[in-house]
Amino acid sequence: MRQLVVIGNGMVGHRLVEAVLSRDTDTPWQITVLGEEPRPAYDRVALSSYFDGSGEEELRLPDLAERPGVQVLLGESAAALDRGARTVTTSAGRILAYDELVLATGSSAFVPPVSGRDLPGCHVYRTIDDLEGITATAAAATGRGDTAGVVVGGGLLGLEAANALTLLGMQAHVVEMAPWLMPRQVDEGGGAVLGRLVDDTGVVCHTGAALAGIEPAPDGAGLRVLLGEEGPDRRIVDAGIVVFSVGVRPRDELARSAGLEIGPRGGAAIDAACRTSDPRIYAVGECASAEGTVYGLVAPGNAMAEVAADNLAGGDAAFTGGDTATKLKLLGVDVASFGDAQGATEGALEVVVNDAPGGTYAKLVVSDDATTLLGGVLVGDASAYAGLRPLVGRELPGDPLDLIAGDRGGSGGGVGVAALPDDAQVCSCNAVTKGAITTAIAEGETDIPALKACTKAGTSCGSCVPMLKNLLADSGIEQSSALCEHFEYSRAELVEIITATGVSTFSELIDRHGTGRGCDICKPAVASVLASLGGGHILDGEQAALQDTNDHFLANLQRNGTYSVVPRVPGGEITPDKLVVIGEVAREFGLYTKITGAQRIDLLGARVEQLPAVWARLVEAGFESGHAYGKALRTVKSCVGSTWCRYGVQDSVGMAIRLEMRYRGLRSPHKLKSAVSGCARECAEARSKDFGIIATDTGWNLYVGGNGGFTPRHAELLAADLDDETLVRYIDRYLMFYIRTADRLQRTSAWIEQLDGGLGHLRAVVVEDSLGIAAELEQDMQRHTAGYADEWRGVLEDPEKLERFVSFANAPDAPDPTIAFDIERDQPVPTGPVALGMPEPPAREPATAPSGGAARHEPAGTPV
């Protein structure tokens, strides 16, 4: 049995072991993996999803320790390498013998040698431990009022770090020495558009700025970041946290100490077989130098891992260079670059479409005869990336201008999947060709999960998944649109069935058109459809048992078992008397109060049995449900508009109130958010909403399909310069068409992307009435507005509905003894750590003493 030691348990080291195990050899391997971190291997490409709610479990790669012949030593690094004896001494004093050894030690974050870089509050952005430290520091900073965070470095990882700080509730500042952001990936023109798009997200960009130093704030809390040379032009940013994301350096200290040859920019020098100067030792990933280049992306690292594994098995594979193509969404902005993005090839020509007002930039770099694609840059709209990147170095299938300025809405721009040759790489991260995917489809892999498992395509960054769908469709395989195992119909088809047959209950629908008893997928989905089609109060009869936890109690469940109360504040406008009532209610019931980003006041910490009493006070004062708990319209945010603002050209507050009152309570496939800005300065952030309205000198521009959240997206212009009545009419049609045709839990952005024809088709339906259903859609909306009734008023007026609002069935007035609070900043907060990665708080007496226990009442249909 041959002994293989792999030093490094990151993504590339993990890939190397999988590749070795996948190859047949005459002599089996005994593999030992040394992992410096105390946790199993995880997906660093998706590391930023940690701040979107993904935990360590979701990021983990398959456990190598479960594979036969593999030993994984976590929290144990290599301390010394003896090439003569062919042994590795670990940090735990263990001595491991090897026949072959692979260095996969990765890289470390570079921190510029400026004063103050080691102060508390300074972090790097590389590992889960780093992210946990950033989370804790950000929470402490915002808690004391230091809401600014500085990211040093405006490259790929720097903008991801800025997004992380934004998600942690901080005002992010990005410091980049180059004249524009992402200087290694995009050119000056793309950088200018990218800078404006990032500015629009609220991130403050300091380009062309040198970091001079960091010093403690005068009050001892927080930091002062010094930019530029000392003098009147020096800029100072007061910050609660500093994150360095300037670049990486190869972790080659072990290779150096063992006397291996080092590349000109660091890293163990390797040949085409990924061998170092010692033929028994290989190096892969960011610790390796291939012909003087150190690659900092996962795709070249995976390619090296495959080459090394092949040679370990007796093959002769060669590493000929890495694919440095990149596509990602940063702060809601699409960015992609591939091939020779900077046009460095001699004689190269550039074809550029720069739509600065529309926020898009596209450039193709082609050969001097304009027949071969060399590279490209896409900013603001990267839909063409999937079709263009595989064509680098190949003959163009058409006019280069048409490929980026023709059909901008479809996947792949003007390049269809049929135009790609079989040897074109569809997945660059894992080097999977179109031919490999079509072969897998022909052999019976007929859906996306099966293709991922079989070929590994789409399992890293995920940017090639749209191409996988296209390849399935091109092979004549139709993907199932069934809502769940109990209905063979899609949500949109069920809407048509309910509308045509007049079915009014879930039981009747499943008896006539489904099977079984239903599940937690179809029950709330059908309940939402029935509600949106005028099915009565959400808690009437059978409807109540279909709802998920939030709709059961018309409130958002919080992490400690309490609920939030969010009264509607249309357009953000509220009278002093109503403000007083909210304050009185919060004080009377001991609730935590917070002004939300959507111009509402959130009251958190209400126990379930308190909800009716809280809402009784609010309803009496004229408030109604804000539907923060439902898949429905949440808010229509507004700026102050022409009423107050010197830049305003229309009454944005009045329009926001009109729209919110019109669409309040409208149940839909997913939550809906809107905003109205009174001028092009866009203070209400309308383009981040499902439908956003921006005032013009002559009317309103209507934008659709935007959202924040896990995959942020800017809305796109549907129609321009509309008068008030036309605007409302188009929104009626848009929303009802979405409700009729979207899938369950599908945001408007994803819905528009999957429509045949995309935004163009939607415009044809809504504006031009191409399907002849505009009148029907308007009538549907009219029925909703005519039949609207406040859900919480309906509960308070119905004793039967009120009976559900108890924590315990046998003690209706007893509070839940498991709920306890601490006091922070003079407000009640749940007892326990307030954020993932923060230490447990010191023990304190709870703000409310627990009372006696009783049998908990779990309402029917509530997921547990």
Say if residue 783 is in the same domain as residue 648. yes
Q: How confident is the model at residue 539 (pLDDT cuts 50, 70, 90)?
A: confident
Domain membership flag for residue 22: yes
In residues, how long is the chain? 864
Say if residue 390 is in the same domain as residue 470. no
CATH of residue 469: 1.10.10
CA gap 590, 580 in Å, rounded = 15
pLDDT at 854: 38
pLDDT at 727: 97
Q: Which helix (H) or strand (E) holds 419?
A: none
Say if residue 664 is in the same domain as residue 758. yes
CATH of residue 764: 3.30.413.10
Phi, psi of 529 (to 5 degrees): -65, -45
Q: SS3 of 335, please?
A: strand
pLDDT at 840: 40
Domain membership flag for residue 319: no
Q: Which domain-ending residue is among 796, 826, 856?
A: 796
For residue 207, how far is the Cα from the chain centroid? 25
CATH of residue 96: 3.50.50.60
Q: Which amino acid is at 560?
A: N
**Which tokens sit at 123?**
């972090």
Say if residue 354 is in the same domain as residue 285. no
User: Does the annotation place 427 within a ligand binding site?
Assistant: no
Strand order in the sheet with 211-216: 211-216, 223-227, 235-239
Say if residue 789 is in the same domain as residue 652. yes
Q: pLDDT tens digit string along 34-63?
A: 999 999 999 888 787 777 666 787 788 888
CA gap 645, 49 in Å, rounded = 38
Beta partners for 238?
Answer: 224
Number of domains in the chain: 6
**Cβ atoms of 667 and 495 closer than 8 Å:** no
pLDDT at 425: 76
pLDDT of residue 806 exceeding 90, the answer is no
pLDDT of residue 407 exceeding 80, the answer is no
pLDDT of residue 267 exceeding 90, the answer is yes
Q: SS3 of 203, please?
A: coil
User: Does the annotation place 205 within a ligand binding site?
Assistant: no
Domain membership flag for residue 347: yes
CA gap 712, 394 in Å, rounded = 33
Q: How confident is the model at residue 711 (pLDDT cuts 50, 70, 90)?
A: low
The closest alpha carbon to 676, from 659, 652, 703, 700, belongs to 652
Lowest mean pLDDT of 503-507, 552-556, 601-605, name the range: 552-556
Q: pLDDT tens digit string along 446-463?
A: 777 788 888 888 776 666
For residue 31, how far is the Cα from the chain centroid? 36
Given its phi and psi angles, is residue 631 left (phi above 0), alpha (psi -120 to 50 degrees) or beta?
A: beta
Say if residue 38 is in the same domain as residue 61. yes
pLDDT at 319: 93
CATH of residue 391: 3.30.390.30
pLDDT at 843: 38
pLDDT at 457: 82
Phi, psi of 762 (to 5 degrees): -60, -45
pLDDT at 774: 95
Q: Which domain-ending residue is among 221, 246, 271?
A: 246
Q: How confident is the model at residue 810 (pLDDT cuts 50, 70, 90)?
A: low
Say if residue 375 is in the same domain as residue 236. no
pLDDT of residue 569 exceeding 50, the answer is yes
What is the rounded average pLDDT of the residues 582-610?
A: 87
What is the rounded average pLDDT of the residues 310-330?
A: 84
Question: CB-hemisphere CA count at 13 Å for 511?
Answer: 6
pLDDT of residue 548 exceeding 70, the answer is no
Say if residue 496 is in the same domain as residue 467. no
User: Does the annotation place 639 within a ligand binding site?
Assistant: yes
Q: How confident is the model at residue 559 (pLDDT cuts 50, 70, 90)?
A: low
CA gap 778, 761 in Å, rounded = 18
Domain membership flag for residue 192: yes
Q: How confident is the model at residue 77 (pLDDT cuts 50, 70, 90)?
A: very high
What is the rounded average pLDDT of the residues 255-272?
A: 96
Domain membership flag for residue 83: yes
Q: pLDDT over 70 for what percent of the chain? A: 90
Mean pLDDT value across the chain: 85
Letter string b/e over residues 673-689, b meaning 16 or more CB atoms within 10 A of that residue's CB: bbbbbbbeebbbbbbbb
Lowest mean pLDDT of 229-233, 420-424, 586-590, 806-810, name the range: 806-810
Q: Which domain-ending residue is among 362, 383, 416?
A: 416
Domain membership flag for residue 412: yes
CA gap 601, 559 in Å, rounded = 19
CA gap 65, 45 in Å, rounded = 22
pLDDT of residue 345 exceeding 50, the answer is yes
Say if residue 347 is in the same domain as residue 288. no
pLDDT of residue 760 exceeding 80, the answer is yes
Say if residue 143 is in the same domain as residue 194. yes
**Cβ atoms of 69 and 28 closer than 8 Å:** yes
Most confident of 319-323, 416-420, 672-676: 672-676
What is the rounded average pLDDT of the residues 216-231?
A: 88
Query: Which residue is listed with tokens 């046998």?
Result: 810
pLDDT of residue 809 exceeding 60, the answer is no
pLDDT of residue 156 exceeding 90, the answer is no
Beta partners for 395?
Answer: 372
Q: What is the DSSP letter of 631?
A: S
Q: How confident is the model at residue 388 (pLDDT cuts 50, 70, 90)?
A: confident
CA gap 325, 390 in Å, rounded = 10
pLDDT of residue 370 exceeding 70, the answer is yes
Q: pLDDT tens digit string along 163-186?
A: 889 888 889 999 999 999 999 889
Farthest-apart Cα atoms in the chain, separation: 86
pLDDT of residue 851 exceeding 80, the answer is no
Q: Is 858 exposed, middle or buried (0-12, 13-18, 19+ CB in 10 A)?
A: exposed
What is the rounded average pLDDT of the residues 586-600?
A: 85
CA gap 392, 330 in Å, rounded = 24
pLDDT of residue 620 exceeding 50, the answer is yes
Given its phi and psi angles, is residue 828 left (phi above 0), alpha (psi -120 to 50 degrees) or beta?
A: beta
The more confidently predicted of residues 24 and 103 is: 103
pLDDT at 376: 92
pLDDT of residue 782 exceeding 90, the answer is yes
CA gap 146, 238 in Å, rounded = 8
Question: CB-hemisphere CA count at 13 Å for 587?
Answer: 6
Q: How confident is the model at residue 855 (pLDDT cuts 50, 70, 90)?
A: very low
The more confidently predicted of residues 419 and 754 is: 754
**Which tokens sit at 402?**
């048409």
The more confidently predicted of residues 467 and 780 is: 780
Q: Is 690 exposed, middle or buried (0-12, 13-18, 19+ CB in 10 A)?
A: buried
Domain membership flag for residue 860: no
pLDDT at 435: 85
pLDDT of residue 534 exceeding 80, the answer is no
Question: CB-hemisphere CA count at 13 Å for 745?
Answer: 9
Domain membership flag for residue 116: no
Q: How confident is the model at residue 779 (pLDDT cuts 50, 70, 90)?
A: very high
User: Does the annotation place 287 within a ligand binding site?
Assistant: no
**Which tokens sit at 198?**
């990032």
Its domain, for residue 42, covers 2-108+249-312
The closest alpha carbon to 420, from 381, 447, 453, 393, belongs to 393
CA gap 112, 212 in Å, rounded = 10
**Which tokens sit at 412?**
């792949």
Say if residue 656 is in the same domain as residue 767. yes
CA gap 766, 781 in Å, rounded = 14
CA gap 582, 595 in Å, rounded = 12
Please state whether beta strands 204-207 and 211-216 pair in parallel, antiparallel, or not at all (unpaired): unpaired
Say if residue 475 is in the same domain as residue 495. no
Q: pLDDT tens digit string along 240-249?
A: 999 999 988 9
